[in-house]
Amino acid sequence: MPRFLDTATGEFRWIADPSNAVYAILSHTWRSEEEGGEQTYNQVRKIWKRMRKSRVSGEITGSTTSNEESILSHPDLSGKIKAICKVAREAGYKLVWIDCACIDKSSSAELAETINSMFDLYRLADVCYIYLVDVPESREDPEHYTSAFQQSRWHGRGWTLQELLAPKEVVFLTASWTFLGTKCSLVHTLTLATNIDSGILLGRDHLSSASVARRMSWAARRETTRVEDEAYSLLGIFRVHLSPIYGEGRNAFLRLQEEIMKTIPDQSIFAWGAQCVLSSIDAAEMYSNFLDDNTPTGLIVSSPRQFSSAEHIQALSPSDFLSRLVGDIDSGLASSSLELPSLHSVITPEGVRLKGLTIDLTELAQIAAAIISNIENSPDNHLLAEDYEHCLSLG
């Protein structure tokens, strides 16, 4: 049950079911503690308490709206809160949700509930205002690759990914709170900045149409203040839930991947790391991220950064894979020779047990011929076909 701010008074309002409310929502980058930080729920409450106490004593501060008290002109209230309330109010919204002011972070239960429902809070909003503090009002073309819009810090933050994807209507605002554009009008620029297709940005294609690996790649170059938020900020992107445990470090991202494996039958979650292009039967070309001593090993990884090369990975169901494989090769491989296991994973304390698609490469005429040729031309006369790895598992 989230709390909202009344845009006319700055009063907190509880709404049991946000799907029945009409409200605006704010997306922004937080100021660092060195810059003064953001005004919190408890700080706003203290302003209310001081103002009401002074009113009782006859020293009324602030202003009134429709004979109600308001803190929106109080000198101690954050300029950001004042501004978003003004923008939303002038657009006709009575309620606005702001993450810094509307979450009581001293309550672990409330924080956990909000983190797990935040994607839906943005999805259900009537409009999302994205405030870009580092984009000044100017005549600069936001679509130019050197523009302040394209270089904005907002594009590189972890939490802002879901804040871009979830809402239907998005309005970008400059540092002076003036209109810059909408998600629709800036979709080409946003696609370049995020590597997310316009169909997904505009809601024409569902998030689930993108593979797990591809969705991970959207977060690969984003940063969060707390390392755990690399995982928590992606919960809504994959429609999974986790209990947040600040202090668990990179274990949070491991838990996220385990939850995804339990929920989504998509083995592209294992398609992390360097890309490998099979340029011929005999040679593979490595590019993007080169393998080194720091390259992770195992099935899952500790950070979305390992998915930076996965933006073009597509997930195929077993039946789709079979139809493409049989359609792409000679009739030397009959479809009946391939089994189609269901793609599922079982998480155990000793590891992950999974079923995958595996084919015997020697059944493909062109690959069998290459193996035989290599044996015949090898200086080691004793090499046999069984010395070659000839089974390929495909996720």
Same domain, 45 and 154: yes
User: What's residue 105's pLDDT?
Assistant: 93
pLDDT for residue 169: 97
Place of tokens 């495909």: 394
Domain range for 183: 3-50+70-205
27-75 confidence digits (pLDDT tens): 999 998 888 889 999 999 999 998 888 777 665 544 444 445 899 999 9
Cα dihedral 50, 52, 58, 60 sign:
positive
| Alpha helices per DSSP H over the chain | 41-56, 79-90, 99-102, 108-124, 148-151, 160-165, 187-194, 198-201, 212-219, 229-232, 235-238, 251-263, 318-328, 365-377
Write out pLDDT tens, residues 194-229.
Answer: 999 999 999 999 999 999 999 999 999 999 999 999
Name residues of the chain where pLDDT drops below 50. 61-67, 281, 284-291, 329-335, 383-385, 388
Q: Is residue 199 domain-resident? A: yes
One domain, residues 199 and 219: no
Does residue 162 belong to any structural domain of this protein?
yes
The pLDDT score that the predictor gives to residue 315 is 81
CB 302 within 8 A of CB 254: yes
Residues 146 and 129 grouped into a single domain: yes
What per-residue confidence (pLDDT) applies to 355? Answer: 66
Q: What is residue 136's predicted lDDT score, i.e. its pLDDT?
A: 95
Q: Could you tell me if 263 and 175 lie in one domain?
A: no
Which pLDDT does position 288 carry in this prediction?
43
Q: Is residue 286 part of a domain?
A: yes
- Which contiguous run of DSSP H or E holds residue 6? strand 3-6
- What confidence score (pLDDT) does residue 383 get? 47
- Residue 165 in contact with residue 196, Cβ under 8 Å? yes
The pTM of the full predicted model, rounded to 2 decimals, is 0.81
Q: Are residues 115 and 194 in the same domain?
A: yes
Beta bridge partners of 278: 284
**Looking at the structure, do residues 171 and 264 belong to the same domain, yes or no?**
no
Which of 163, 179, 205 is the endpoint of a domain?
A: 205
**Distance between CA atoms of 207 and 199, rounded to whole angstroms?**
10
197/270 same-domain check: no
Q: Which two tokens stand for residue 100?
A: 């810094």
Confirm whether 19 is domain-assigned: yes
Is the same domain home to 17 and 134? yes
Q: Are residues 95 and 193 in the same domain?
A: yes
Q: Is residue 63 domain-resident?
A: no
Is 58 part of a structural domain of the chain?
A: no
46 and 177 belong to one structural domain: yes
The last residue of a domain, from among 172, 205, 238: 205
- Say if CB 246 and CB 221 are below 8 A apart: no
Cα gap 303→317, rounded to integer Å: 26
**Domains in the chain, number:** 2
**Same domain flag for 227 and 313:** yes
Give the end of a domain, one of 156, 187, 205: 205
